[in-house]
Amino acid sequence: MLRIENLSVSYDNKLAVDNLSIYLRTGMIYGLVGPNGAGKSTVIKTITGLLPFYAGKIYYNEYLLKKNRQQIRKLFGYAPEDPELLPYLTGREFLSMIAGLRQTADIESQVHSLIELAGLSRKADELIKSYSHGMRQKVSLAGALIGNPPFLILDEALNGLDPVSLYNIRSYLQQRAKSGAVILLASHVLELVENWCDRVIVMHRGKLLGEFDPKEETEKPFSEKFIELIKAANQAE
């Protein structure tokens, strides 16, 4: 499980996340949605250790992030919206390097499988500097999946992927969830989280507005409920 307790994050004299508490259970895919400025990326950067200054507690299983940062880094795979890759390596070389750093068994076989999964085969041995945005996203995603980490954190990481790659990644994430992984997917594409996720967490201006089952049978689809929720929050301010 991934547990966030009373998380508050401030920067530039602005409260970006305001007393957020959520509990992510194993075996599930969670969506994290909200308008621009909701605090989604701040939450992601905080729980991955990129923003070290915050109030509250973050647990990966029984490990508290503030006290077990190095150990926790081995537990999760992270793919951001704008990945920083090494442009003068090929995609295959980059993934092999990540696999080596993670001390992954059977590096060649796992890298080959992830290249196939992400649809990188035709470009795997070309330099990353020649890749399109979508191809760079594929490399970043494949890197996050190396070693089958028990926690996967994807921050707008599916932008620019083609339909075949999206289908393959979705099937893979569903299998990982069934095997006990915790998956958090931040996205602004409501249809995607509605179709992919078991639960969806809605944020607005740093606060939690609610958590929903997007597939629950109601008179309104989740996307419509989301818009109504945001409108109500704006009117209440």
Tens-digit pLDDT profile for residues 89-137:
999 999 999 999 888 888 889 999 999 999 999 999 999 999 999 999 9
Burial classification of residue 144, based on how many CB atoms lie within 10 Å of its CB (0-12 exposed, 13-18 middle, 19 or more buried):
buried
| Beta-carbon contacts of residue 182 (< 8 Å; ≥ 6 apart) | 1, 2, 24, 25, 26, 27, 28, 30, 150, 151, 152
Q: How far apart are CA 30 and CA 224, in angstroms?
A: 19
Annotated domain spans of the chain:
2-75+150-236, 84-149
> Any idea which residue has 């890749």 for tokens?
131
Give the closest residue to 128 by CA, choosing from 77, 85, 191.
Answer: 85
Give the model confidence (pLDDT) of 42-62 as tens digits: 999 999 999 999 999 999 999
Structure tokens at 123: 């470009």
Query: The pTM is what?
Result: 0.93
Structural contact between residues 115 and 121, judged by C-beta atoms closer than 8 angstroms: yes
> 3-state class of 182 per DSSP?
strand
**Encoded amino acid at 104, one letter:** T
- pLDDT value at residue 26: 96
- Sign of the CA dihedral running 188, 191, 195, 201: positive
> Any idea which residue has 């070290």 for tokens?
52
Q: How far apart are CA 36 and CA 178, in angstroms?
A: 31
Q: How many helices (H) and strands (E) does the chain have?
A: 8, 10
Structural contact between residues 7 and 201, judged by C-beta atoms closer than 8 angstroms: no
Q: Residue 201: which H helix or E strand, with range?
A: strand 199-204
Stretches where the chain sits below pLDDT 70 are 217, 237
- pLDDT value at residue 95: 96
> 3-state class of 56 per DSSP?
strand
Structural contact between residues 72 and 126, judged by C-beta atoms closer than 8 angstroms: no
Give the closest residue to 21 by CA, choosing from 57, 75, 63, 72.
Answer: 57
Q: Return the CATH superfamily for domain 2-75+150-236.
A: P-loop containing nucleotide triphosphate hydrolases (3.40.50.300)
> 3-state class of 11 per DSSP?
strand
Q: How far apart are CA 56 and CA 225, in angstroms?
A: 30
